[in-house]
Structure 1
Amino acid sequence: MQLSLNSNFSSTLKTTAWALPVAIALPILVHLAPPYNGFPMGAYLLPMFYMPIVALIAYRLPVALLLAILAPPLNFLISGNPHWGLMAMLTLELVIFTLLAYVFLLQRIIKWIAAPLAFLGAKTISSALLIFIPLIEANPVQFFSTSLNNATIGILILLAINIVCLKYLPNQEIRDKV
């Protein structure tokens, strides 16, 4: 009996296989820079969010979700950063970010700002969840405000990535929906 993979599943795995090392390496490279004001550069530049939005626009939701789910734990195993609570929080934020960005990308008017909106939504949801599931020791309101304050440059980078990818890497699935 021969097992054949669905071409979409096979394509998803192949795409994830080359994109995942990039999604892991980029944050490691950013974190080689010294901390600024006591925060790692990743908190400012948001490199973990780049590949999921690129994959979402250039490929499909399953590729982006796999990157969002796998990149933080694998990054943690390789580099030891961030600690497990932040890794769990970051994974949750990336999954929420990816799902929200997908919904926003399907909307004609706001698709150009989908990544920043999705980041704000993911950060809002993860901060609110800290009330019920304290993955890290932080006041939810302070965590939210500090994260947004630090991430201003990263949010602008996400906006630029969003616009460039929509302009030059249009996804058939997204084009068909709008």
Structure 2
Amino acid sequence: MLQLYGYQVHQFRCAEAFLDLEPHLQGGVVLADLRLPNMSGLDMVAQFAPSRPDLRTIVLTAHGDVNAAVSALRVGAKDFLHKPYKEAELVEAIEKQAQTVSCSGYKFQRQAEAKAALEALTPREFEVAQLLSEGRSNKEVAHLLDISVRTAEMHRARAMERLGVRNLAQLVAVIIRAEEESSNPRIT
């Protein structure tokens, strides 16, 4: 049915088969039944969802209640549909999650690009750029780093050149993009 809507569909005979291939899957939408052989759908979702925000899960069940729905959402599912559902409901839920995957994939790509660009800066250029992104003036940066204003301006100019930005607003945008949910110790 979903192929008729243009979706590429992969079916798995059990949760373990999915989990074996999950590390190699690109982002997308996962439909998981609450009751699966050998392992529950909740256990399966709990194993991959926290580390894979690019795999959006919709849990399907004929045996669900409010507690099951809450449990599914707590382990990382993004939606919950009770069988029988209308085809339009399923397609709408998939569309919603597919849009989120597309948007978050773009966001993660831009964040990764910003982080990579910042790695090209020297430690001092990075310090200056970060202080400027906090709204500090060249004079304040110079004072905080115990350098001359001219040296602070030089580091700012070199950082902007290495990052390929033309103005302070663009420099700040790169820093902010890299900081979003960052685990990079250089980005605080």
More helix by share: 1
| TM-score of the aligned structures, taking structure 2 as reference length | 0.26
| TM-score of the aligned structures, taking structure 1 as reference length | 0.27
Relative contact order (C-alpha < 8 Å, sep 6+): which is higher? 1
More strand by share: 2
Larger Rg: 2
